A and B are shown apart, each in its own frame.
Chain A
Amino acid sequence: MVGVCGLTATQANAQLMRLNLQPAFSTNAPAAKAKAADTKPKPPTEIDSDAADFDLNAHLATYRNHVVVTDPKVRLTCEWMLVTLPSGGEHLSHVVATTNVVVDFTNEQGEKYHVTSAKAVYDYKVVDTLTNETVTFTGSPVVETTNSTIYSEPMVWDRAANKFHFTEPRMISKDTGTNGPAQKLF
Chain B
Amino acid sequence: MRGPRERKMVFVWFVSFVVLFMATGNRAQQLPVGHATDFTSNQYFEPPNERLVKMKLSGAEALPLPGGLLDIRQLRVETFALDGQTQVIVRAPQCNYSPFDGVANSAGHMELQSGDGKIHVQGEGFLWRQTSSSLTISNHVHTLIDMPGAMM
- Any chain A CB within 8 A of the CB of B143? yes
Q: Scan B119-152; emit 1 where CB is below 8 A from any A CB, else 0.
A: 1010100000000111111111111111111111
Q: Is the CB of B148 within 8 A of A38?
A: yes
Is A95 close to B, CB under 8 A? Answer: yes
A155 at interface by CB-CB < 8 Å: no
Decide: A45 near B145, CB < 8 A? Known: A69-B152, A76-B152.
yes
Of the 9-residue stretches A14-22, A86-94, A142-150, A176-184, which lies at the interface with chain B? A86-94
The residue from B88, B133, B138, B143 contacting A46, defined by CB atoms under 8 A apart: B143
Tell whether A110 is near chain B: CB-to-CB under 8 Å.
no
Contact with A74, one of B119, B145, B151 (Cβ below 8 angstroms): B151
- B79: CB under 8 A from chain A? yes
Q: A103 to chain B: which residues have CB within 8 Å?
A: 152
Is B152's CB under 8 angstroms from A71's CB? yes
Give residues 7-63 of A contacting B (CB, 8 Å): 34, 37-39, 42, 44-57, 61, 63
Asked if residues A91 and B147 are in contact (CB atoms below 8 Å), the reply is: yes
Pairwise interchain contact B134-A54, C-beta atoms closer than 8 A:
yes
> What's the interface size class on A, roughly?
35 or more
Separation of A97 and B152 alpha carbons in the complex (Å): 10
Is residue B75 contacting chain A, with contact meaning CB distance below 8 A?
A: no
Is A158 in the interface zone, CB < 8 Å from B? no
Q: Chain B: how many interface residues by the 8 Å CB criterion?
A: 31
B92 contacts across to A, CB distance below 8 A: none
Number of A-B residue pairs having CB atoms within 8 Å of each other in the complex: 108
> Are B152 and A74 within 8 A (Cβ)?
yes
Q: Does B74 contact A (CB under 8 A)?
A: no
Question: What separation, in Å, do the CA atoms of A6 and B85 have in the docked complex?
Answer: 47
What's the least CB distance linking A26 to chain B, in Å? 19
Nearest A-chain residue to B137, judged by Cβ: A52
CB nearest to A133 among chain B residues: B149
Contact A52 B151, beta carbon cutoff 8 Å = no
Give the distance in Å from the alpha carbon of A37 to the alpha carbon of B148 in the complex. 9
- Complex Cα distance A158/B99, Å? 49
Interface residues of A (CB under 8 A from B): 34, 37-39, 42, 44-57, 61, 63, 69, 71, 74, 76, 85-88, 90-92, 95, 97, 103, 120, 122, 124, 133, 135, 159
Which residues of B are at the interface with A, using a C-beta cutoff of 8 A?
A: 79, 85, 87-88, 112, 114, 116, 119, 121, 123, 132-152
Interface CB pairs A-B, < 8 A, 10: A42-B148, A44-B150, A51-B138, A51-B139, A52-B121, A56-B135, A61-B143, A74-B151, A85-B119, A92-B147
